[in-house]
Structure 1
Amino acid sequence: MAIQKIQSVYTVVRDMDQAQRFYERALGLTLKFRDQSKWAQFAVGGSNFALSSTEEAAPGAAASVVVFDADNVDGLRESVEAAGGRFVSERDMGTHGRVLVFLDAESQIFQVFTRQQSE
């Protein structure tokens, strides 16, 4: 057996409607599939990011940290805050890029990575 790719990443949420609105508004994600209040899935590049209810999640699962990849982060802080999230910090990794840390509308951490822009 060899792992080929990431199929999906999900984060456990309490309020599916609020969480879905947040990720659509803050990051511009488009809903791919929704199963009532149990699961909402978004296509992100060649992978999937999903929101899970506690009953749909693995036993004991409480959260996740998703790192999204963006070509740039211009205006991202503003859109996250306008959608009900909060900026936490930014880490500059020099020539490797930058990663911004946010809290979503349910105060769960997610990050957005961007590579250094060529000049």
Structure 2
Amino acid sequence: MTNPAGAVTRLMTVYVPSAGSAEATRFYTDCIGLPLKFADGERWVQFGTGNANFALAGASEYPAGAQGAVAVFEVDDMAAFRARCAAANVTEMGLRDMGDHGQVLTLKDPDGNIVQFFSKS
């Protein structure tokens, strides 16, 4: 069976809200042992976990209405993925264009959980 256009290609990131403290970063690097991959001040701190990422998200990066962890799946074609979601009557909460970094689409699942989908283009 071949994947449809706009297929999910991998679990990219799971993140939790954070006040962006240096103590939180040290907890995940020193105590937990996760390698630091990227930090954007208090906005976003990303750690490696093998084939996916774990991150601390500051208030400006955490979607409104989200509670707890947010899973981010990578998709190969955002336009095709959005069309498939629209055909299934899924309501979008927002699309964030991050320029050269890509796009992030935020959806709410039937249980009210926030789920995001990232595309590099």
TM-score when scaled to structure 1? Answer: 0.50
